[in-house]
Amino acid sequence: MKIKYRIYAHKLYSPRDVSRRIGIDVKKIIDLLEKNKTFGSKMGNFWFIRGSEILEINKILRRNKVGQNSIDRGKLKRLEKEERKDSGEKII
């Protein structure tokens, strides 16, 4: 059974807390924070993320995941078509 955590908009969270709440790896969250620099605050080597920003981080990471899968499917379909073409099958 997965424990559900509440997210408060005014609180500050660490990347580990965020990964616990949205189920995405800590390294991916930190990479996104390093790349964008629009979410969270960095103090030394530690990130603080406001609760209201967690939903936007989740949307971005999920969108990247879905986009990556669709690209992979497109490549697979093209490869299958090329294989059929090489073998002499009719492509419908």
CATH of the domain at 76: 1.10.10
- Asked whether the predicted pLDDT for residue 21 surpasses 80, the reply is yes
Residue range(s) defining the domain that contains residue 39? 12-87
Query: Is residue 2 assigned to a domain?
Result: no
Give the number of domains in the chain: 1
What pLDDT score was predicted for residue 90? 59
Q: How far is 82 from 72, CA to CA, in rounded Å?
A: 16
Query: Is residue 81 assigned to a domain?
Result: yes
Query: Is residue 46 assigned to a domain?
Result: yes
**Using one digit for the tens of pLDDT, what is the confidence trace for 27-54?**
888 888 888 877 788 888 888 989 888 8
Q: How far is 27 from 9, CA to CA, in rounded Å?
A: 23
The amino acid at 21? R
Give me the mean pLDDT over the 11-22 stretch: 87
Query: Is residue 4 assigned to a domain?
Result: no
User: 54 with 22: CB under 8 angstroms?
Assistant: yes
3-state secondary structure the chain: CCCCCCCCCCCEECHHHHHHHHCCCHHHHHHHHHHHCCCCEEECCEEEEEHHHHHHHHHHHHHHHHHHHHHHHHHHHHHHHHHHHHHCCCCC
Query: Is residue 50 assigned to a domain?
Result: yes
Mean pLDDT of the chain: 77
Q: How far is 19 from 91, CA to CA, in rounded Å?
A: 45
Query: Is residue 52 assigned to a domain?
Result: yes
